[in-house]
């Protein structure tokens, strides 16, 4: 198996060399060196809450959620209280965006709605179950609760979910080890009756973000929950993201099937499902294939297990310190015949200018920005082109108005590459993938696979780390990204440290072209590190992510990385601007995710206030 790593970055601007609080020790893996974050039951251990994080109505009544009165109207109104710090606000808004991507549940800043979620920073992480209909319903994201899966967990309580292991059918799937439960905490393992809750027709879900972990409320003598399918013993209590069954249950509870911001996914396993229309100028056209002699030998969705790798030296400054992403090749071996399919256009024949188009079905946007994500494989000529267009339609122009949104060209590379294109359609539109044969020789062509289209903000940069599995075998290996620039001109660098039991991710400023024009330091930014699931469907991914912020009131000096300037093979200099005072938090901080002034982000960035968004994606090829 081969491990691939990608770093995706969006709307970047960076803090000084001292990292803020919220360390990233558990970004991947587990081991004795790992700095593990406490889960909900540990955070709330001194609080007397039902099932660890549930607030009950006055009198302790355990309400049913079967009635429609406990559902919220959509969109769900909310208020972010002033007690929340900047980092928590950013993660809360990202959690809302994740729910929008996967379900029909939407959120909006409260205007005059009588019932709304009042999101506060109190002691611990907690929520009521369902809409209590008494006005401002508290949901606490306290100290230590600022992780997207924990926030999703509390939101799902508020939307009407109890814990998964409290289902009335749970004894068919897990065994509660009562003698291992801390004295006085046994009530946290009570079951809800069929008159109180519904399974909503879904199977018991070991992978639910609403499930307890195996040692929650333990007295130290061992696990409190044993799964009857042993392979799930270390899965229960996962805090990555909502599972596919969590999503199914939420959509069922709110009587819907479509998601708010999701538009389309296509892996070309079934060409009819994708609804693509093909056309060509010349003898060649887009073809749906399982392999190509010149590469790729496998589609991306079911990428084959055998790779013939060229190790990439971490001491090679050209590979890791250059101003653009590395392009060194890794040759993939033949895969078995059980692979999937992708779309390929050959530029090996024909004349310059020949080409073909592949057009998606039409979509009507709700927002004014979209993100197109795809994987491409370029085995053709240096001057071959892959153009990404959108064509917008209205009553006055039934043929549509095309606009070029992105272009891929350059030397070929023998591996699948991840690519994002930011779109800004405001009318009914379709996406067009156009290949044009360039001048010069070609023995291959252009391939596309695993397309996702959503009404979300795209990352701005991708750093692909080659031969990651072999590099990871070396203890204390540091990898340094190329220099990148944020939208507002800050130069920054990413660092990944590989140790035997975990992966650490860091970021820092570099000297850049615009240093004399920028404010120093640059507070009130947020960084999100994301380990991305390899599922080709963006809605089914369960990714690990952590966030930190450049809040000048929360500096963590033990994570100072200024000494890394001379570490390993890093050659890029640090900035030397004159220091200035921190600026205050921008005003109007409670305007909600639609405010362009919340953290000085683009008005197009609706629900992610982060000025820095980085995603570390690990792909396990199997």
Q: Is the dihedral of CA 489, 18, 605, 406 positive or negative?
A: positive
Ordered structural domains, the chain, with CATH: 2-31+462-621 (2.60.210), 263-304+339-455 (2.60.120.200)
Tell me whether strands 331-332 and 397-408 are parallel, antiparallel or unpaired. Answer: unpaired
By C-alpha distance, which of 368, 504, 519, 512 is closest to 429?
Answer: 368
Q: Which residues pair with 526 in a beta bridge?
A: 549
Which class for 553: exposed (0-12), middle (13-18), buried (19 or more C-beta within 10 A)?
exposed
Each residue's pLDDT tens digit, 336-353:
346 799 999 999 999 999
Q: How confident is the model at residue 460 (pLDDT cuts 50, 70, 90)?
A: confident
- For residue 458, the 8-state DSSP code is P
Q: What does residue 524 show for φ and ψ, rounded to 5 degrees?
A: 60, 40
Give the residue with greater pLDDT, 461 vs 20: 461
Each residue's pLDDT tens digit, 243-280:
999 999 999 999 999 999 999 999 999 877 799 999 99
- At 43 the three-state DSSP class reads helix
Q: Is the pLDDT of residue 564 over 60?
A: no
- At 429 the three-state DSSP class reads strand
> ω into residue 10 within 30 of 0, thus cis?
no
Query: DSSP characters for 354-369?
Result: -EEEEEPPPB--SSS-
Each residue's pLDDT tens digit, 196-215:
888 999 999 999 999 999 99
Residue 476, number of CB atoms within 10 A of its CB: 10
pLDDT of 550:
79
pLDDT of 4:
58
Give the alpha-carbon dihedral of 526, 529, 533, 536, to 10 degrees. Answer: 50
179 is annotated as an active-site residue: no
Contact 418, 372 (CB under 8 A): no
% of the chain with per-residue pLDDT over 70: 75
Note the residue count of the chain: 622
Query: Which value, in Å, is the radius of gyration of the alpha carbons in the chain?
Result: 25
pLDDT of 36:
62
% of the chain with per-residue pLDDT over 90: 56
Q: Is the pLDDT of residue 19 over 50?
A: no
For 18, 20, 228, 563, the CA distances from 558, given in Å and listed in that order, are 8, 10, 43, 12
Give the residue with greater pLDDT, 11 vs 290: 290
Pull the structure tokens for residue 372.
Answer: 């197109």
Each residue's pLDDT tens digit, 21-67:
333 334 443 333 344 679 999 999 999 899 999 999 875 545 446 67
d(Cα 60, Cα 58) in Å, to the nearest integer? Answer: 5
By C-alpha distance, which of 149, 9, 15 is closest to 599?
Answer: 15
CA 432 to chain centre: 25
**In 161-314, where does DSSP find H-type helix?**
244-253, 271-274
Q: What does residue 163 show for φ and ψ, rounded to 5 degrees?
A: -70, 150
List the catalytic residue out of 121, 154, 392, 457. 154
By C-alpha distance, which of 578, 573, 603 is closest to 519?
Answer: 578
Q: Is the dihedral of CA 82, 84, 85, 88 positive or negative?
A: negative
Residue reference for tokens 């599922």: 535
**In 44-147, where does DSSP find H-type helix?**
86-102
Residue reference for tokens 């256009």: 345
Sequence-separated (6 or more) residues with CB below 8 Å from residue 68: none
Sequence-separated (6 or more) residues with CB below 8 Å from residue 230: none
Which helix (DSSP H) or strand (DSSP E) does residue 247 occupy? Answer: helix 244-253
Q: Which residues pair with 308 in a beta bridge?
A: 331
d(Cα 458, Cα 452) in Å, to the nearest integer? Answer: 11
pTM of structure:
0.82
HSE value, Cβ hemisphere, 13 Å, CA-based, for 414: 18
Tell me whether strands 136-141 and 116-120 are parallel, antiparallel or unpaired. Answer: parallel
Q: Which residues pair with 484 in a beta bridge?
A: 492
Which class for 63: exposed (0-12), middle (13-18), buried (19 or more C-beta within 10 A)?
middle
Contact 370, 262 (CB under 8 A): no
Each residue's pLDDT tens digit, 489-506:
888 888 888 776 677 778
Q: What does residue 484 show for φ and ψ, rounded to 5 degrees?
A: -120, 160
Sequence-separated (6 or more) residues with CB below 8 Å from residue 360: 264, 266, 274, 275, 276, 430, 431, 432, 453
By C-alpha distance, which of 117, 48, 52 is closest to 81?
Answer: 117
pLDDT of 262:
98
By C-alpha distance, which of 131, 127, 129, 156 is closest to 142?
Answer: 127
- Average pLDDT (312-323) is 28
Contact 392, 383 (CB under 8 A): no
- Average pLDDT (381-398) is 96
Sequence-separated (6 or more) residues with CB below 8 Å from residue 550: 14, 15, 16, 20, 521, 522, 523, 524, 525, 526, 527
By C-alpha distance, which of 93, 85, 81 is closest to 594?
Answer: 93
d(Cα 246, Cα 152) in Å, to the nearest integer? Answer: 10
Contact 204, 173 (CB under 8 A): yes
């Amino acid at each position: 198996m081969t491990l691939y790593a990608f770093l995706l970055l969006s709307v970047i601007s960076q803090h000084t060399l001292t990292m803020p609080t919220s360390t990233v020790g558990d970004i991947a893996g587990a081991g004795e060196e790992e700095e593990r974050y406490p889960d909900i039951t540990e955070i709330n251990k001194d609080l007397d809450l039902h099932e660890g994080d549930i607030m009950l109505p006055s009198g302790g009544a355990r309400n049913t959620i079967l009635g429609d009165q406990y559902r919220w109207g959509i969109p769900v109104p909310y208020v972010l209280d002033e007690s929340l710090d900047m980092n928590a606000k950013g993660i809360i808004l990202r959690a809302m965006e994740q729910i929008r991507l996967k379900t029909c549940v939407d959120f909006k800043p409260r205007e005059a709605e009588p019932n709304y979620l009042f999101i506060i920073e109190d002691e611990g992480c907690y929520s009521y179950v369902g809409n209590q209909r008494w006005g401002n319903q508290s949901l606490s994201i306290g100290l230590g609760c600022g992780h997207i899966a924990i926030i999703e967990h509390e939101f799902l309580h508020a939307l009407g979910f109890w814990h998964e292991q409290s289902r009335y059918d749970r004894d068919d799937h897990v065994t509660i080890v009562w003698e291992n439960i801390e004295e006085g905490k046994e009530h946290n393992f009570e079951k809800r009756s069929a008159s109180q809750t519904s399974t909503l027709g879904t199977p018991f879900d070991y992978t639910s973000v609403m499930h307890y972990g195996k040692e929650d409320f333990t007295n130290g003598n061992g696990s409190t929950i044993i799964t009857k399918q042993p392979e799930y013993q270390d899965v229960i209590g996962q805090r990555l993201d909502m599972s596919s069954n969590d999503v199914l249950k939420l959509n069922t509870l709110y009587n819907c099937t479509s998601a708010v911001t999701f538009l389309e996914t296509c892996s070309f396993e079934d060409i009819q499902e994708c609804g693509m229309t093909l056309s060509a100028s010349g003898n060649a056209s887009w073809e749906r294939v399982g392999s190509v002699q010149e590469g790729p030998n496998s589609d991306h969705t079911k990428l084959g297990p055998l790779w013939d790798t060229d190790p990439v030296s971490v001491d090679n400054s050209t590979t890791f310190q250059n101003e653009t992403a590395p392009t060194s090749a890794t040759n993939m071996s033949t895969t078995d015949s059980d692979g999937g399919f992708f779309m390929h256009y050959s530029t090996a024949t024909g004349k310059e200018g020949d080409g073909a188009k592949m057009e998606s079905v039409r979509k009507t946007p709700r927002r004014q920005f979209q993100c197109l994500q795809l994987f491409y494989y370029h085995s053709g000529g240096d001057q071959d082109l892959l153009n990404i267009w959108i064509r917008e339609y209205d009553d006055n122009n039934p043929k549509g108005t095309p606009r070029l949104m992105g272009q891929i060209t350059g030397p070929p590379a023998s591996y699948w590459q991840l690519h994002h294109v930011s779109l800004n359609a405001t009318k009914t539109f379709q996406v067009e993938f156009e290949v044009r044969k360039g001048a010069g020789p070609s023995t291959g062509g252009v391939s596309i696979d695993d397309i996702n289209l959503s009404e979300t903000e795209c990352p701005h940069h991708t750093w692909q780390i080659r031969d990651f599995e072999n590099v990871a075998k070396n203890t204390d290996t540091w990898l340094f990204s190329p220099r990148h620039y944020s939208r507002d001109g800050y130069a920054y660098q990413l660092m990944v440290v590989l140790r035997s039991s975990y992966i650490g991710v860091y970021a820092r400023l570099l000297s850049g072209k615009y240093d004399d024009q920028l404010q120093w330091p640059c507070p009130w930014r947020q960084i999100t590190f994301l380990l991305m699931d390899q599922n080709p469907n963006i809605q089914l991914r369960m990714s690990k992510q952590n966030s930190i912020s450049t809040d000048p009131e929360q500096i963590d000096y033990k994570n100072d990385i200024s000494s890394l300037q001379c570490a390993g093979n890093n050659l890029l200099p640090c900035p030397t601007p004159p220091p200035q005072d921190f600026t205050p938090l921008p005003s109007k901080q409670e305007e909600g995710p639609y405010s362009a002034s919340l953290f000085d982000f683009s008005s197009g960035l609706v629900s992610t206030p982060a000025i820095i968004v980085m995603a570390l994606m690990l792909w396990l090829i199997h």
